[in-house]
Chain A
C-alpha cells in the first residue's frame, strides 16, 4: 500500500506548491514587486543617508566651508581624494591662511565607505543621493568638487 501512499503523498505536495504560485498568479493584478526604473525616475526617492557620491556644498555666494585641512585625503583608503592647496593672505586678518585650489575626487576609485565625510571637521563635503553614474569616458569620473571661483566661507577655521 505504501506504493500508492507514496504516489498520493507526492501528488499532494506538488499540488500544495502549485497552490502557492497559483495564488500569486491570481493576485498578480495587485502589482509587481519590481519597479519600472527609468519610467519612475521623477518619483524615485532615495533614502537620505544613501551614499551615492561625495559633493561639496556651496551656498548662494559660491562659498564652501572647506579649509583644505586634508583630513579627508588622509582618511580615504583608496586615494580617491586629492587636494591641491596653497597659502594666501587673508584679506581681513592679514594672516597667512591655507586655501584649496582644487578638491579632486576620483569617483572611479571611490568605494563609498564614507570615511572622508566622517572625517571632515567643517562638514564641507557630504553625500549626494544620485546613483546614475555611468559616463562614456573614464576621465569624467575625476571631478573637481569646489566650483570655479569659489572661496572658503568667512569664519570657518581649520
Chain B
C-alpha cells in the first residue's frame, strides 16, 4: 500500500530509522489518524459556530457571544454538555443498528477528509481515483442515516430516513456527473493531478461556460447531498420534528450533527479542489511561499461554505416530489448536455489556458 504521507517527511524518516518497518508504518498511520481526528473535531466545532454566527448576522441577531471572547468557546461548551448527557433511546429500537448508525455517518465523513489536498504536501491519502473515492464514500454515509431512521422505531424518523434515501440516491448522479464533466478537462481523477492541471488556470476559468454550469449543478446537488436547506427534508423541522435523529441524544446526536458539518466542509473542499484550484493562490501571487497553500485552500473553502449557509438562511424548503423533479427533470438532462458540451470544448481545444 503506497500512502504518500508527505506532510510527515521528517517524522516518517525518524520512525523508520528507530522501528522495524511494519511497526513504523502502523505507528505512523495511528499518528496521522489522530491528527485527522483533531482536524475533524476542530473543523466541525468551528463550522457549527460559524453557522450560528452567520445565521445571526443574516437574521439581525447577535449570535452566541457569552462563552469565551466573541462566543468562540460556545461550541466547545456545547460539545462538553453533549458528552455529559445521558444516551436515551426507544425501548423497541433495534439496539445494534441504532448504536451502529452514527458511526457509519461519522466514519465516512472522516475517510473523505483523508483525500482532501489541503496543501501541496498536506494530503493523507492521494489515491489515484480520488474523485470517485469521494463520490463512493458519500453514498455510504446515507446508509447510516437510513439505519438511524429505521432502527429507532419512530415514524417521523422513518419518514425522514426514507426521504434521505430517495434524495441521496438521486443527487449522487448529479454530483458524480458534474465532477465527471471536470475530469474530461483534467484527464485524471487523482486530486493531486487535478491540482497540477490547474497551474495553467483554475478549471472554472479553463472550462468557462460548461465549467460554470457544472459548478452550479455541483453546488445544488452538493447542498442536497449534505441534507442542508433548501433540501433539508430529512430533518424538516416544521414537518418531522428532527427527522432521522429524533431518537438520538447526547454524543450520538452530536456525531450526526458534526458529520453534517464535516460533510458540508468536504463538499466545499471538493468544489475548491475541482473548480477553484485547491491550494493554488489566485494568479500565483504567493507561489514562492508554499505553506500559504493551506491558507488559500481554507479561505476558498470557507467562501463556498458561506455560500451554502447563505442558501440555507434564505430559501424555503422543497417538497419531496419537487426535489425529485428538480433532479430528474432539470439537473440530470442539463448535466448530460453539459458533458457533451465540455467534451466538444476539450476536443476543439477551446479551453482558456494561461
Contacts and interface: CB of A to CB of B under 8 A. Distances in A.
Interface of A: 7, 14, 17-18, 20-22, 24-25, 28, 32-34, 36
Contact of B314 (A7, A17, A28, A33): A17
B347 interface: no
Interface of chain A, main secondary structure: helix
B283 interface: no
A155 to B, nearest CB: 54
Given A18-B314, A21-B314, A34-B62, A28 B330 contact: no
Contact of A32 (B61, B311, B315): B61
B132 interface: no
A21 B313 CA distance: 8
Q: Could you say which of A7, A20, A25, A36 has the most chain B C-beta atoms within 10 Å of its C-beta?
A: A25
Nearest to A15: B314
B60 A34 contact: yes
A22 B62 contact: no
A6 to B, nearest CB: 9
A25 B309 CA distance: 12
Nearest to B326: A10
Which 4 residue pairs across A and B have the least CB separation, nearest first? A28-B57, A33-B60, A21-B314, A32-B62
A24 B310 contact: no
Nearest to A14: B315
A34 B313 contact: no
Given A7-B330, A22-B310, A28 B315 contact: no
A19 to B, nearest CB: 9
26 contacts: A7-B330, A14-B314, A17-B314, A17-B315, A18-B310, A18-B311, A20-B314, A21-B58, A21-B310, A21-B313, A21-B314, A22-B310, A24-B59, A25-B54, A25-B57, A25-B58, A25-B310, A28-B56, A28-B57, A28-B60, A32-B60, A32-B61, A32-B62, A33-B60, A34-B60, A34-B61
A24 B330 contact: no
Contacts of A33: 60-61
A65 B274 CA distance: 81
Given A7-B334, A21-B310, A33-B60, 4 more contacts: A18-B314, A21-B314, A25-B57, A28-B56
Contacts of B330: 7
A24 B61 CA distance: 10
B241 to A, nearest CB: 26
A140 to B, nearest CB: 29
Contacts of B56: 28, 32
Interface of B: 54, 56-62, 310-311, 313-315, 330, 334
Contacts of B334: 7
Contacts of A36: 62
Contact of B58 (A7, A14, A24): A24
Contacts of B57: 24-25, 28
A28 B56 CA distance: 9
B123 to A, nearest CB: 33
Contacts of A14: 314-315
B294 to A, nearest CB: 26
Contacts of B314: 14, 17-18, 20-21
B158 to A, nearest CB: 31
Name the residue in A21, A22, A24 with the highest tally of chain B Cβ atoms < 10 Å from its Cβ: A21
A70 B57 CA distance: 54
A21 B306 CA distance: 13
A135 B334 CA distance: 63
A48 B128 CA distance: 73
A21 to B, nearest CB: 5
Contacts of B313: 21
Nearest to B316: A17
Nearest to A3: B330
Nearest to A22: B310
Contacts of B60: 24, 28, 32-34
Nearest to A11: B216
Nearest to A18: B314
Contacts of B62: 32, 34, 36
Contacts of A32: 56, 60-62
Contacts of B59: 24
Nearest to B54: A25
Contacts of A24: 57-60
Nearest to A26: B57
A34 B54 CA distance: 15
